[in-house]
Amino acid sequence: MKKLVVIILTKILYMAGSIMGKGSSLPGKLALKLCPDILARLTLPENIVMITGSNGKTTTAGMINDVLVENGFDVGYNYEGSNQIEGVATLLLRISDLAGRVKKDALVLEVDERYTRYVLKFIKPRYYVITNLYRDQLTRNGHPELVYSIINEGVTDDMHLVLNTDDPLSSMMGMGKDRVTYFGINKNELSTDINTSMYNDGAYCPNCKAKMEYDYYHYNHIGSYHCEACGHRRHDPEFAVTGIDFDEGSFTINGEHKITLNFKSFYNIYNLLAAFTVASLLGVGPDRICASLNGYIVKKERIIEFVTAAGKGMMIISKHENSISYNQSLRYITGQKGDLTAVIIVDSISRKYYTNETSWLWDIDFELLRSDNIRRIILAGKYAYELGFRFKHTGIDENRISIIPDLDDLMKAINDMAVPGGKTFVLTCFSDKQKFIDRVRKWN
């Protein structure tokens, strides 16, 4: 009877919240308070896919869901982005029947990396995807190895792990495990023999702390590595990107399955590869997967086109306090043709908690903007002067840089300073996204 009451109450609260435009965590939070083991009382489908990691989990989960739905699966998916245990509880209770049965072919659950241990107490995924573990939100997460230890708490031998073999930290989850599928990107013309980033988190083996050896790097510490002391190494991936053609806008998996790219970046390829891997494990044919992923448009408004009097522009959402996310966006921008204007906005560091800690700016490879096609750089927002001080150490001509601390002055600055006829790229985080969108609408 208690289970029935909690299920009904959750459904009512979710419907009421939807009408009022409220978030999707509160119903689950109340359900867990009334019945802490409510998730263990549900009957769930066999095919449960859980996705976690520092970067890419939202996009990868969306891709997996879309491939499965397009290929006939009835899927339960926390698309609203509530990826802590309360959000997962809301999803499962609202899609269950009154007996607590979730009658779906599959569940696709994006889970915040720090909350995986709580979700895994009640839900055992058939496939557990760990996209990567990077420096991310220092104030909240500390070091990636701390996050690794938190995730590893919930890993059991009966789970089938799906791991990024190119990441020495997250791939370490597979050590001593039999049920592991690795995905990765093979060496290509974009790979380098040395680490070209501001820091090297792959300098030492995460397993034994001995010096790590690299055969090549894709970016930062991601690439092909091996430790001569303990044997930790990059495993040959079962699902491998064997060719990348950014000029054509495509990449190839296992030498035969080609996927076209809407957004040309290493990041996007890793997300698509992870989705291809999971869909394959669930029995979807490769041709069908490619058809679903070709030209995939990233959801959640992470890439937004806009127009101002200065011309066309694109806003790319990258995570503040996450240097690898920023670096991939910077690489994408500098890889575009023509004379460009780059706008970096840091007005709020996080939308989830307050911090004014900006040391993470020094981890970002802003030196990439020394590229000849970046003609103007505008640093904007509350932390524009902190950005300006960081840029003093990039070697970029200061005459190309403008500092605009008040966002109300930003649109005029873009219209006055942007390269005539060139495209403007705005790089910022979710915390500042709407601020820019509102000003574009007001200005236009």
Strands (E), 58-172: 75-77, 106-110, 127-130, 160-164
Digit-coded pLDDT (tens) for 250-262: 999 999 999 999 8
| C-alpha distances in Å from residue 382, one per residue of 16, 253, 334, 354 | 37, 44, 25, 14
Does the pLDDT value for residue 16 go beyond 90?
Answer: no
Q: Where are the domains of the chain?
A: 41-293, 303-443
What pLDDT does 9 receive?
85
What pLDDT does 240 receive?
98
Burial tier of 332 (Cβ tally within 10 Å: 0-12, 13-18, 19+): buried
Give the confidence band of 40 by pLDDT, cuts at 50, 70, 90: very high
| 328-334: average pLDDT | 94
Closest CA to 417 of 427, 428, 402: 402
Q: Do residues 62 and 81 lie in contact, with contact meaning Cβ atoms separated by under 8 Å? A: no
**May I ask the CATH architecture of the domain 41-293?**
3-Layer(aba) Sandwich (3.40)
Whether the domain at 41-293 and the domain at 303-443 fall into the same CATH topology: no
Give the confidence band of 32 by pLDDT, cuts at 50, 70, 90: very high
Q: Which secondary-structure segment (H or E) carries 184?
A: strand 180-185
Burial tier of 94 (Cβ tally within 10 Å: 0-12, 13-18, 19+): buried
Indicate left, alpha or beta for 209 from its phi (over 0: left) and psi (-120 to 50: alpha): left
What CATH number has the domain spanning 303-443?
3.90.190.20
Amino acid at 308: T
| 88-107: average pLDDT | 95
To the nearest whole number, what is the mean pLDDT of the chain? 93
- Global pTM reads 0.93
Q: Mind giving me the DSSP string for 23-39?
A: -SSHHHHHHHHH-TTGG
Digit-coded pLDDT (tens) for 207-235: 999 999 999 999 999 999 999 999 999 99
